[in-house]
Amino acid sequence: MVVRSRASTETEEHIARKRNRLVLEQARAVGLLGEAKNTRLSGRVPAGLIEAAKKRAHISSDTELLELALSRLALEDDFGARLVRRKGSIPADIDLAI
C-alpha cells in the first residue's frame, strides 16, 4: 500500500494538470484540436478503467479524458522504435569515456 502525504498528492495533481495543459496546447498548435467538435465517439469499456484514468489525470469529464488520451496518442513520438533501429550502428571500438 502506498501512503502519500497531502503535499505529495497536491504536487502530483499540479504536475498532472500542467502536463495535461501542455499536451492539449500542443495538440491545438498542430491543428488537432479546434473550435468544432463534430465527431461523436462511442464504445464500451470497463468503468474501472475510466475512473482510474480520470484519477491519474486529475480530470472529471469524459470528453476531457478522451481529448487528452487521443491527443497523447496522436502526438506520441517514435523514440523507442528509432532507438531500437539504431542498435549496432555505433562502432564497438568507440571510446565512450565511461
| Global pTM exceeds 0.85 | no
- One-letter amino acid at 90 equals I
72 or 35: which carries more pLDDT confidence? 72
Query: Tens digits of per-residue pLDDT, 27-68?
Result: 999 999 988 888 999 999 999 999 999 999 999 999 999 999
Determine the pLDDT at residue 29.
Answer: 96
d(CA 51, CA 57): 10
d(CA 59, CA 2): 21
CA dist 74 → 13, 33, 50, 80 (Å): 23, 11, 19, 16
